[in-house]
Amino acid sequence: MSADYTIELWLLKLGGVLNLYFLVDSRLLASRVEDAYLVLPAQILFAVSAYRCFFPVRYEHNVVLHDSILSSIFVTRLFATFSEIACVFMFSHVLRVLNVEHVEWVTVVSWLMVAQVVISQGFVWTAILVEQFEYYFYEELGWVFVFAVNTIASAYLYLTIEAFGGRKVLLLLNLLFGILYLPWQTMHLVSLRAEAAGNADQHASSLPMSTRLANGLHRAVNVKNRRTDGHSWGGIIGLTWMAAYWATLIPMWTYYIVRVLCSG
C-beta atoms surrounding 210 within 10 Å: 8
Query: What is the edge-to-edge ordering of all strands in the sheet holding 57-58?
Result: 57-58, 63-64, 225-226
Q: Which residues pair with 58 in a beta bridge?
A: 63
Cβ atoms of 251 and 18 within 8 Å: the answer is yes
Res 194: pLDDT: 84
| Distance between CA atoms of residues 250 and 18, nearest Å | 12
Q: What string of DSSP letters covers 37-105?
A: HHHHHHHHHHHHHHHHHHS-EETGGGEESS-STT--HHHHHHHHHHHHHHHHHHHHHHHHHH-TT--HH
Q: Kindly tell me if the per-residue pLDDT of 125 is higher than 60.
A: yes
Q: Kindly tell me if the per-residue pLDDT of 119 is higher than 90.
A: yes
Cβ atoms of 62 and 104 within 8 Å: the answer is no
Q: Kindly tell me if the per-residue pLDDT of 32 is higher than 70.
A: no
Whether residue 206 is contained in a domain is answered as yes
pLDDT in tens, 186-200: 988 998 888 777 666
* Total H helices, total E strands in the chain: 9, 3
Whether residue 1 is contained in a domain is answered as no
Whether residue 167 is contained in a domain is answered as yes
Res 264: pLDDT: 64
Res 16: pLDDT: 97
What's the rounded mean pLDDT across residues 163-177?
Answer: 87
Whether residue 177 is contained in a domain is answered as yes
Whether residue 158 is contained in a domain is answered as yes
Measured between alpha carbons, how far is residue 64 from residues 48, 53, 58, 105 in Å?
16, 12, 6, 42
What's the whole-model pTM score?
0.92
pLDDT, averaged across the chain: 91
pLDDT in tens, 43-86: 999 999 999 999 999 998 999 999 999 999 999 999 999 999 99
| Distance between CA atoms of residues 99 and 31, nearest Å | 24
Cβ atoms of 32 and 73 within 8 Å: the answer is no
Res 191: pLDDT: 85
Helix axes 249-262, 36-54, angle to 10 degrees: 160
Number of folded domains that form the chain: 1
Cβ atoms of 77 and 128 within 8 Å: the answer is yes
Indicate the SS3 state at residue 132: coil
Res 65: pLDDT: 96
Using pLDDT thresholds of 50, 70 and 90, give the confidence band for residue 205: low
Whether residue 173 is contained in a domain is answered as yes
Say which CATH number the domain at 42 has: 1.20.1070
pLDDT in tens, 221-261: 999 999 999 999 999 999 999 999 999 999 999 999 998 88
Q: Kindly tell me if the per-residue pLDDT of 123 is higher than 90.
A: yes
Full residue range of the structural domain in which residue 44 is found: 6-262
Q: Measure the CA angle with vertex 43, ends 40 and 47; round to 5°.
A: 145
